[in-house]
Amino acid sequence: MWAAAVDSFWTWSMFTWCFCFCVTILILVLDFTSLSSKLPISWDDFTTAFAMLATLMMLAASILFAVLFTCGSCDFYIIATVFSFTAFILYAVEVGLTRAKPGEISGFLGTVPGLLKVLEVFVACVIFTCLDGTRYPQFPGLQWCVAVYCICFIFGTLVIILTIGRLLALLPAPLDKVLTGCNVLAVLMYMTAVVIWPYYSFLDNPRPSSCSTTLLCKWNNYAVITFMTCVNLVAYIVDTVYSVRLVFFMSST
């Protein structure tokens, strides 16, 4: 069990580094050859969304690799960790440089709400990886929480895809109003999940002593999901504040 879990984290780290490297090279080639302007997508939205996603993936891979694989005599692993954190910093700087400034015309994913959408989707993916099928099927409350994670994840993913694909016209209402309504609903749903998930996850379920010696145990996964649920709640609250400000204050000026 431990070996399989460690192998999966090793695979995740390798996938992250290879994926980010390959997509970055692809973006550079398309930019230098001016082929990016011929693609039927919003190039600025795509590159900004990728930079944000790469930042989050690199951060997760760097932390996991540093915790699980580095040691005092593991020189190559230490070097890999240092370069991984360096890549994370560089991608984070790119996000800061490409983010739309106040009053600047940019694609949706270059704005704070757009970047928050990428964050919300990524956090939901972390939650999904920590889920297991042994406990939440036993409690309707936990099933509700999983439904919350899935619904909000699907909506966020659709917004990102429609934005990059220049398909926002398919929405039944203006984007700002759709985002405001869905964000308010997401905040209400996540508020219930923040209370319900830890209550049923830790109900008559004390932390096993084995979890003190290893990070890879189900109880720790429940704690990670609890923390990530709180993170996404904060993200959705900030997202809602920006959306409400955009709809009710910016539009009236």
Per-residue pLDDT of the chain (253 residues; tens, 9 = 90+): 444 455 678 888 999 999 999 999 999 999 999 998 899 999 989 999 999 999 999 999 999 888 888 887 888 889 999 999 999 999 999 998 887 655 544 578 888 889 999 999 999 999 998 888 777 788 899 999 999 999 999 999 999 999 999 888 777 777 788 888 999 999 999 999 999 999 988 888 788 777 766 666 788 888 999 999 999 999 999 999 988 877 665 554 4
Question: Which single residue is written with the structure tokens 């994840």?
Answer: 153
Length of the chain: 253
How far is residue 172 CA from its own chain's centroid? 26
Give the pair of three-digit tokens for residue 230: 């709180």
Separation of alpha carbons 190 and 183, rounded Å:
10
Question: Please, which contacts does 174-180 make with residues 24 or more away whose CB atoms are closer than 8 Å?
Answer: 175/108, 176/243, 176/246, 176/247, 176/251, 177/247, 179/113, 179/239, 179/243, 180/240, 180/243, 180/244, 180/246, 180/247
Give the torsion through C-alpha atoms of 38, 39, 40, 42, to 10 deg: -110
Q: Does residue 167 sit in helix, strand or coil?
A: coil
SS3 21: helix
Q: What is the pLDDT of residue 64?
A: 87
Q: What angle do CA 196, 230, 116 make, to 5 degrees?
A: 130
- What is the pTM assigned to this prediction? 0.89
Q: Where are the alpha helices (DSSP H) in the chain?
A: 2-32, 43-68, 75-98, 112-130, 140-164, 175-201, 218-245
The pLDDT value given to residue 212: 67
